[in-house]
Structure 1
Amino acid sequence: MNHQNYKFLPVLLLGNLLCMMDTSIMTIILPQLQSAFNESLSNLSWALNIYTIIFAVLIIPFGRLAERIGRNKFVFGSLIIFGIGSLLSGLAPNLNWMLAARAIQSIGAAGIIPTSMVIGLENSNQVNRNKVVAALAGIQGLAVALGPTTGGIVTQFWGWRWVFLINLPLVLLDLVLFLWVFPLKNESTSKTSIDWLGAGLSMTILFCLSLALIQGNKWGWQSSVIISLLISSELLLIVFLVWEKSQKNPMIDLSLFKSRNFNGAGLALILCNYFLGGMAVLIPTFLTKIQGESELKAALLITPYSLAVMISVIMTSLAVKKINNQLLISCGLLTIALSYYLFAHLNVAANYRQLIIADIVLGTGYGLVAATANILAVADFHGSKLTTSQSVANVLRQIGMVLAIAIFTAILTSNVQSAKQKTATYAVQQTQSLNFSTSQQAKLKFTIRKKLLNNQTQFKQKFKFSKIAINQNKEQRLINQIYYRQLQILSVRDQLAINKLPPKIKNQLKVQVVRNVKMTTIQKEEKFQKKLGKLVRRTKVELKNQLSTAFLNVYAVMFWIALSSLLIIPLFKFNYQPKR
């Protein structure tokens, strides 16, 4: 790459790095946000969904809008919007604020990513063009892979807010460099039509489908709201397809889907990002909330998948012209299925070796599928259709992530509810086996159900009972009863009426009775607290085991989905003949 064309690349790379990293960096801070906002994982998943949905549907129309405004000005303005969204995200006091801020961030990111690639191609010559494309695509993949690790390090030392606030000086630096490298005046523009209705329809479809999948357990799968959302998404999909077919410049060129390779590659991209997203969304929460690890350690434990993705993508890209593509995708899907089998049977009691192995296996399988599918997605196209196919492939990748967030959190929510119910049943049984009194059992059962079944925080494990002390009035009545009996005994012994007994003797007797009752009460409370402590310890162990099972069972279900993904192989045409 010559010196003249080299200086613009770092400016574009930095913008792409920031935008793509924020698509995955949220996964590691979800546990922190659960505590900060006191929200469930299903509610917090919208902080991921809102970014991914808006990003997915605006990539194509924003690429065309940039042509009308001027690409340099458009990217410069988008950087400012992304910076504002980052600032607001870092200042968020609650989930609603966070969702609005993330939406602003995503609008900025959607304006930067596709247009940066075009700017890069315009500012490079024919010799360097492939290097520019490789650099921008590589930094995007690297950013997504390193997002959780970076987020874990920043959160550990500075807190979750700095995951977003750290963007501000980098955005400011990129803006200054942008003004130095790129001219904002006298840009060439073109009046390309933009399919805003298509973008709006696609966004509404994804929103309705995601909302139905995430809230299905909470609102009821047979409720009118959920059924309406699912029907709406299907009807809107039909409307979208009819509309796109009638447009000269549609958001998605439906003629792309006449290619068997594009169809197969599109499904492969959705699937591999779906399974990658399923790990990235749940495992950090599993490690921090269930296993009690720090955000930093959780980030380091999932870093091997990031490295495996990078290495696998590079190696597959080099091998794709030498090895049968059908074999590469088949091996990739089988490898992903194997990783899910390992996740479903994790034994983290001893060490995290199996988790690291599962990370590496998943990253390797993802690289095999994604790298091959990216090449096959554009294999049958040239000219403008080549560019369009790349944009649509990018949208499909984001759809895979949206579906992962929605479906995995929906299944986990159901599993967690079941886990809490089983733990509550276990704890109630323990109150009977530990021989608590009837009144104590009633109080404990109420407390158990309240703590386990009524709290909003999904994975809260602080399972403590307030001290159940003997009622003061009851204690006083007991003292009076014993004191009166003792007075009667003295009265008979000394043949004196109770009111004739010496005050000194009566006072001594009262003090002795109070002391004895208090000591008996303390002994009963100590005995009760020992049994209560045993109940708490057993319940906490049972809760941890049930919640661990709730997480891992999601992967057990998804293992069969991953295995059945091999059914997409016949969709490909696979015309390519490997070199001998």
Structure 2
Amino acid sequence: MVARGVLVPLALAQFVCSFAGSNMTVMIDDISRDLDTTVQGVQSAITIFLLVMAALMIPGGKLTDRYGRKVCLNLGLAVYGVGALLSALAPNLTVLVIGNSILEGIGTALLIPPVYILTTVLFTDGVARARAFGAVNAMGGIGAATGPLIGGLIATTLGWRAAFVFQALVVAVIIVLGRRHLRDPLPADPTRTFDVGGAILSAGGLSLVVLGILLADDDIRLTLVFLAAGALVLLWFFLAGRARERRGREPLLSARLFRDRTANLGLVTQNLEWLVLMGISLVVSTYLQVVRGHNAVQTGLVLTAATIGLLLTSLAAERLAKHHSQRVLVMAGFATTTTGIALFLALSAVSSGTWACLPGLFLIGLGTGAMLTPSVNIVQSSFPERLQGEISGLSRSVSNLGSSLGTAIAGTILVAGLARTPERSYALALTILAVIAAGGLVTAALLPRADKVTRRG
């Protein structure tokens, strides 16, 4: 029986990383004025953070096998904490990029894979693992959803630098709690080799893909060039890894990870979940501020409806797993999210009141919370302990790509002027996201009906 106390540092670690990914957006103007730079400069810092995190997530997961999960977690927290403090003291944009974009990006890539590995190996029972992933994903959802609200409140009352101090304080709490409660049941193996060439190729390929996605708002032709180049580099990475494995040497990612149909479908659902979630977050946040005239704090308060829904189903993951298969839960999540989008569009079309946004957002939160936990559980539970480092890094990279795709697709639709009025542009973006969510429902339906609730040996 694993003590519930181990969940607190793991869930807080996911919270602080998700919070960092969303709270910067409401502080861009304040930061640019204070550092005497441009809005585009601060946006570039956010972009670099995404690139660093995406590039290093797979290598970060692999390093856990060599040095240990808890060691990598603590190292990631330390690097992240230093980056947060450096960002809080930044006198100019260059120092902010070093602290927030580079150090926090490296720290995130080092600490997130151990969170999911430790959750998987410490909770071996399928129902208990569902509860654990539910808590971790709930805190991640809270961090992402309340980032603009908490960030806006902190920036308004104490200044934007205090938001980075807040992150550093949370990191310090995690380190203290981790020393007291966390243990690593998997022994580190310093003899395991590290595929440096594979790490370079994977980092380069993922960076090109993410950069291409982020450039979608500016030049679609440049986006296609970067995406094509990234795909070629990733293909090179896969073929080189397979050749390395055939020679009896350990690759960065084993080809066995891609032979499991259930895990592959689970990865696709993870990608689509985060695509839809982050796309909706961008569209609704922008809609509330541009069309409804809300400020950052008011927007965050409205989005609390989605946070409550996400909390309810995420924290009920253990109970849901006892009565429903993982496949059914993922399908129900996509269906509920799609219904929530439709309800949001319908009520917003007939009323300009804030209340009209709440029922749809609540359903979106319910659906998101219902499917995030089982899809992660499906993927992590499909592999034995010796492959947890690799699959955790791959899983997080796939989710990050989904997040980048969601913001890029939504942002491109909003700035492309495809509709005659701003209101119709937002409606079009949400409609396309609803169609993608429906595609996720179809993908989830292809999952096997029998759950893999325990790891394979």
- TM-score > 0.5 by shorter chain: yes
Question: For 1:397, which of 369, 377, 399 is the aligned residue?
Answer: 399
Q: 3-state SS of the aligned residue for 1:25?
A: helix
Deviations 1:540-563 (A, max 9, x none): xxxxxx444433332133333333
Correspondence list, 1:373-452, <5 A: 373-385=375-387, 388-415=390-417
Q: Is the 8 A contact 2:135 2:315 kept in 1?
A: no
Give 1:187-198 correspondences, 5 Å limit: 190-198=190-198
Q: Per-residue CA shift, 1:102-142, capped at 9, x if unaligned? A: 2211211222233356678899999xx95877765654454
Q: Deviations over 1:391-420 (max 9, x none)?
A: 4323322221121122222222223xx78x
Aligned-residue offset at 1:302: 0.5
1:108 alignment counterpart: 107
2:80 and 2:107 in contact (8 A); partners too: yes
Partner Cα distance (1:97, 1:290) in 2: 35
TM-score, scaled relative to structure 2? 0.80
Question: Counterparts of 1:460-499 in structure 2 under 5 Å?
Answer: none
CA distance in structure 1 between the aligned counterparts of 2:274 and 2:5, rounded to whole angstroms: 33
Q: 1:407 to 1:209 in 2, by over 3 A?
A: farther
Match for residue 560 of structure 1? 435
Encode CA deviations 1:341-392: one digit per residue, 9 max, x unaligned.
3444534963112221221111122123223322322454333245644443
Show the counterpart of 1:351: 353
CA contact (8 A) 1:308 1:360 kept: yes
Kept in 1, the 8 Å contact 2:65–2:189? The answer is yes
2: CA distance between counterparts of 1:290 and 1:54? 33
The worse-fitting range, judged by mean Cα deviation, of 172-181 and 379-388 is 172-181
Q: Work out whether residues 13 and 174 of structure 2, in 8 Å CA contact, stay in contact via their aligned partners in 1.
A: yes
Aligned equivalents of 1:133, 1:60: Cα separation in 2: 20
Contact 2:210 2:401 in 1 (8 A): no
How many Å separate the matches in 1 of 2:320 and 2:181?
Answer: 37
SS, match of residue 320 in structure 1: helix
Matches within 5 A, 1:162-561: 162-172=162-172, 190-219=190-219, 221-222=220-221, 225-248=222-245, 249-345=250-346, 346-347=348-349, 350-385=352-387, 388-415=390-417, 546-561=421-436
Q: Which amino acid aligns with 2:288?
A: L
Partner of 1:58: 56
- Cα distance change of structure 1 residues 303 and 172 upon mapping to structure 2, 3 Å threshold: same
Unpaired segments ≥5 residues, structure 2: none
What is the root-mean-square deviation of aligned Cα atoms in Å? 3.9
Letter in 2 for 1:190: P
1:334–1:68 distance in 2 versus 1, CA, 3 Å: closer
Q: Distance in 2 between matches of 1:207 and 1:196?
A: 16
Q: Would you say the 8 A contact 2:14–2:140 is kept in 1?
A: yes
Taking the aligned partners of 2:132 and 2:374, their CA distance within structure 1 comes to: 20
Residue by residue over 1:453-487, the C-alpha shift from the partner in whole angstroms, topping out at 9 and shown as x without a partner, is xxxxxxxxxxxxxxxxxxxxxxxxxxxxxxxxxxx
Question: Residue type matched to 2:237 in 1?
Answer: F
Please list every run of 5 or more consecutive structure 1 residues that lacks an aligned counterpart in the other structure: 423-545
Provide the residue aligned with 1:575 in structure 2.
Answer: 450
Whole-angstrom distance in 2 between the partners of 1:6 and 1:257: 33
Instruction: Note closer, same or farther for the CA distance 1:574–1:167 as it changes in structure 2 (3 Å cut).
Output: same
Q: Is the 8 A contact 2:280 2:433 kept in 1?
A: no
Larger mean CA deviation between 74-83 and 273-282 belongs to 74-83
CA distance in 2 between partners of 1:227 and 1:122 (Å): 40
- 1:571/1:180 Cα in 2 relative to 1: closer, same or farther (>3 Å)? closer
**SS of the residue 1:194 aligns to:** coil
User: Once the two structures are superposed, what CA deviation does each residue of 1:127-183 show, in whole Å capped at 9, x if it has no partner?
Assistant: xx9587776565445434443332233233223332223223444555567678899
The AA in structure 2 aligned to 1:242 is: L
Letter in 1 for 2:287: F
After the TM superposition, which of the residue ranges 6-15 and 242-251 deviates more from structure 2?
6-15
Contact 2:65–2:389, Cα closer than 8 Å, also in 1: no
CA gap of 1:352–1:96, structure 2 versus 1, over 3 A, is: farther
Which among 19, 22, 27 is matched to residue 20 of structure 2? 22
Letter in 2 for 1:561: I
Q: CA deviation at 1:18?
A: 2.5
**Larger RCO: Structure 1 or Structure 2 (Cα < 8 Å, ≥ 6 residues apart)?**
2
CA deviation after TM superposition for structure 1 residue 271, in Å: 0.6
- Separation in 1, partners of 2:136, 2:329: 24
Instruction: Give the whole-Å Cα distance in 1 for the aligned partners of 2:26 and 2:284.
Output: 9
Give aligned pairs, total: 440
Q: Tell me how far apart the structure 1 counterparts of residues 32 and 449 of structure 2 sit (CA, whole Å).
A: 46
Letter in 1 for 2:370: L
Taking the aligned partners of 1:89 and 1:573, their CA distance within structure 2 comes to: 46
